[in-house]
């Protein structure tokens, strides 16, 4: 890199990380001040772990994210398989457009639209409030689905279509061919989709805000209500913990990623060798 | 050996698509219809244009340095949202384009590290990111502390439009870099070499080769920054001290006030405007691609 490029990159990184570093530093502040560092202390971390409402929100967020990711991955993978096999051009275009809607529409509109429907249907059945864990789960699955489909579909298109056919010619049932041949081929896409769905669900605030019932609070909603009042550095402690968890997950996934690609390369090499032998 | 007829398989493929089709119809399309339904009805669900016309005609009095005036409330809010979102998008592009270019030229190892670094802030919740800027930009915050340290006077940023723009740029910056970078990383280096060989200078290469080729990335970056920043409702509340009501705040405000029909009307208008803009941009992009 040229010196000018290095300076520019450094400036951008300072811009991106200055707020995060400040959060980290002031989470260890002794006093409540967010501008003067008066001394090191773990006081705010102790406070955080005494805050049962926040801890409960963490639990809720994880439960919701696991459910939403699992449902959207299974349904999204099945949808990608179906869309990939659609021969009708117009149906294909309709599917593409509908799938794009939640990604292109502003989150606030997705949130409002689902909320309006839930409220309307709830009133139809005479319920005072229809918003609950279930409405939130529906909302999360809905906005995660397109991302899963978008990860799996290209893998299906790259796959050699004769592979599952060969399996069926050799006596596999279509279902068995799907699980034994297609799934292993598209697994990287499914896993990326699963991870994306999980993190999108964990992080979502806007859509959750409109579809959450009173009884079920996720972490972003808890943070929102915490920042409405004057904030204690307790929230900074929470942000610091989240940051390090994310960092650890990223490092692990990067390491396993390079392991995975190595394994794939090895497998390819093996296949090549076999081919060479067969041709002889 | 049992063989499976193609028709049997195609039924299977349709079955596999069924759950998603039903889900998408119920939870993507029907809710959008509900936005339109609420937008065009009153609280007894009788048809009315009132909510839509209220958006265009409601007025309120504002007083600023130039005295007290009467303004169109929601048109002003929309114009302000558009202005701040366009400024933020432009700044993101100005910062993101060179960054993406530098990244695409770096060694593959450096590229990987930089992409990860740019993505890390995205994984922090955007409420926390915005809140961090609030503490930095406060009158007694860290920025003014630093400025005072080097002998520059305190600046008042929090509660101004600049603070809102800073928040938007920070929150959505990665969405600008990553699409541009992914297009640039795939760009054929031979094209640049060919342009050089044919006597193009560096600026010419950038203007005639790199920029047109990166245009699809730029367009998706612009859309990905413009849409969330035009519809945000938290940033302006925190960094603008609630003084700069944006279109997202208007929707949220009506929702909190349980005024669902008017909230739906604002959302409906926003959606229609964005759809028209996007169709326009897509057409422009296609035309440009043909020319290039």
Average of per-residue pLDDT values in chain A? 85
pLDDT at A36 over 80: no
Q: What is the mean pLDDT of residues A28-54?
A: 83
DSSP at A36: -
- The tokens of B115 are what? 């992409």
pLDDT tens sequence across B155-167: 888 888 999 999 9
Higher pLDDT, B162 or B206: B162
| Whole-Å CA distances, B51 to A154, B232, B275, B276 | 43, 21, 20, 21
Per-residue confidence (pLDDT) for residue B98, from 0 to 100 = 94
- Check CB contact of A129 with chain B, cutoff 8 Å: no
pLDDT at B4 over 70: no
> Could you tell me the sign of the dihedral formed by the alpha carbons of B145, B148, B150, B153, in that order?
positive
Per-residue confidence (pLDDT) for residue A115, from 0 to 100 = 94
Q: What is the mean pLDDT of residues B185-197?
A: 86
Per-residue confidence (pLDDT) for residue B1, from 0 to 100 = 46
Q: Which of B78-92, B138-152, B264-278 shows the lowest mean pLDDT across its residues?
A: B138-152
Phi, psi of B60 (to 5 degrees): -150, 165
Indicate the pLDDT class of residue B7, thresholds 50, 70 and 90: low
- Check CB contact of B4 with chain A, cutoff 8 Å: yes
Domain boundaries, chain A: 52-232
DSSP at B41: B
Residue A217: name the closest of A25, A74, A30, A60 by CA. A60
Indicate the pLDDT class of residue B203, thresholds 50, 70 and 90: confident
CB atoms within 10 A of CB B194: 13
pLDDT tens sequence across A201-210: 988 999 999 9
- The tokens of B50 are what? 């009132």
Q: Provide CATH code, domain A52-232.
A: 1.10.3720.10
Is the ipTM reported for this complex over the cut 0.85?
A: yes
Average of per-residue pLDDT values in chain B? 87
Per-residue confidence (pLDDT) for residue A76, from 0 to 100 = 95
pLDDT tens sequence across A212-224: 877 789 999 998 8
Chain B, window 126-185: residues with a beta carbon less than 8 angstroms from a chain A beta carbon: 126-129, 131-133, 135-136, 138, 140-142, 145, 170, 173
- Check CB contact of B264 with chain A, cutoff 8 Å: yes
Q: Which of A46-50, A265-269, B151-155 shows the lowest mean pLDDT across its residues?
A: A265-269
Higher pLDDT, A9 or A41: A9
Q: Which residue from A112, A145, A174 is facing B9, i.e. has the nearest CB?
A: A174
- Check CB contact of A220 with chain B, cutoff 8 Å: yes
Q: What is the mean pLDDT of residues B84-88?
A: 96
- The tokens of A111 are what? 């949130």
Higher pLDDT, B6 or A65: A65
Per-residue confidence (pLDDT) for residue A236, from 0 to 100 = 85
Contact across the interface for A223 and B125, Cβ inside 8 Å: yes
- Rounded distance, CA A192 to CA B257, Å? 40
Chain B, window 230-249: residues with a beta carbon less than 8 angstroms from a chain A beta carbon: 230-231, 233-234, 238, 248
Q: Which residue from B23, B29, B126 is facing A205, i.e. has the nearest CB?
A: B126
Residue B281: name the closest of A94, A104, A106 by CA. A104
Domains located in chain B, CATH noted: 1-39 (no CATH), 72-291 (1.10.3720.10)
Alpha-carbon B67 to chain mean position? 34
What chain A residue is nearest to B237 in terms of C-alpha separation?
A228
């Amino acid at each position: 890199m040229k010196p000018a490029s290095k300076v520019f990159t450094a400036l951008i990184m300072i811009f991106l990380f200055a707020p995060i570093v400040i959060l980290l530093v002031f989470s260890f502040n002794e006093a409540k001040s967010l501008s003067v560092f008066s001394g090191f202390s773990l006081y705010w971390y102790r406070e955080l772990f005494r805050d049962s409402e926040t801890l409960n929100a963490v639990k809720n967020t994880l439960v919701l994210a696991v459910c939403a990711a699992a449902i959207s991955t299974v349904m999204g993978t099945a949808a990608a398989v179906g869309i990939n096999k659609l021969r009708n051009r117009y149906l294909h275009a309709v599917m593409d457009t509908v799938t794009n809607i939640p990604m292109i529409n502003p989150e606030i509109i997705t949130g409002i639209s689902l909320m309006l429907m839930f409220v309307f249907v709830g009133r139809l059945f005479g319920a005072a409030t229809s918003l609950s864990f279930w409405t939130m789960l529906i909302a999360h699955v809905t906005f995660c689905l397109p991302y899963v489909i978008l990860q799996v579909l290209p893998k299906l298109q790259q796959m050699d279509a004769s592979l599952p056919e060969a399996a069926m010619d050799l006596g596999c049932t279509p279902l068995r061919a799907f699980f034994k041949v297609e799934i292993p081929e598209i697994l990287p896409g499914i896993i990326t989709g699963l991870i994306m769905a999980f993190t999108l669900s964990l992080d979502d605030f806007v859509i959750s805000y409109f579809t959450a019932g009173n009884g079920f609070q996720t972490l972003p909603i808890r943070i929102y209500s915490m920042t409405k009042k004057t904030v204690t550095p307790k929230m900074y402690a929470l942000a610091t913990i989240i940051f390090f968890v994310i960092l650890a997950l990223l490092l692990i996934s990067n390491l396993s990623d390079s392991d995975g690609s190595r394994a794939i390369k090895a497998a390819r090499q093996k296949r090549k060798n076999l081919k060479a032998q067969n041709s002889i | 050996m049992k063989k499976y007829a193609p028709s049997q398989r195609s039924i299977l493929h349709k079955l596999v698509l069924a759950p998603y089709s039903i889900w998408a119809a119920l939870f993507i399309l029907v809710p959008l219809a509900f936005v339109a339904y609420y937008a065009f009805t009153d609280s007894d669900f009788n048809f009315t244009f009132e909510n839509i016309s209220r958006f265009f005609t409601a007025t309120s009095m504002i007083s600023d340095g130039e005295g007290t005036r009467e303004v169109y409330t929601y048109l002003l809010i929309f114009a302000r949202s558009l202005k701040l979102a366009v400024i933020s998008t432009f700044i993101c592009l100005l910062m993101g384009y060179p960054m993406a270019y530098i990244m695409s030229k770096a060694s593959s190892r450096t590229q990987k590290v930089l992409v990860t670094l740019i993505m890390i802030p995205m994984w922090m919740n955007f409420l926390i990111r915005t809140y961090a800027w609030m503490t930095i930009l406060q009158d007694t915050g860290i920025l003014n502390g630093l400025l005072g340290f080097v002998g520059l006077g305190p600046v008042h940023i929090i509660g101004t439009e600049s603070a809102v723009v800073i928040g938007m740029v920070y929150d959505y910056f990665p969405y600008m870099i990553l699409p541009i970078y992914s297009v640039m990383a795939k760009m054929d280096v031979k094209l640049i070499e060919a342009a050089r060989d044919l006597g193009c200078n560096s600026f010419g290469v950038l203007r005639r080769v790199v920029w047109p080729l990166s245009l699809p990335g730029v367009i998706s970056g612009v859309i990905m920054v413009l849409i969330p920043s035009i519809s945000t409702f938290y940033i302006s509340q925190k960094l603008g001290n609630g003084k700069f009501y944006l279109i997202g705040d208007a929707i949220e405000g009506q929702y909190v006030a349980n005024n669902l029909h008017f909230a739906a009307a604002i959302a409906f208008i926003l959606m229609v405007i964005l759809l028209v803009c996007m169709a326009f941009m897509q057409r422009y992009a296609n035309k440009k691609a043909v020319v290039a």
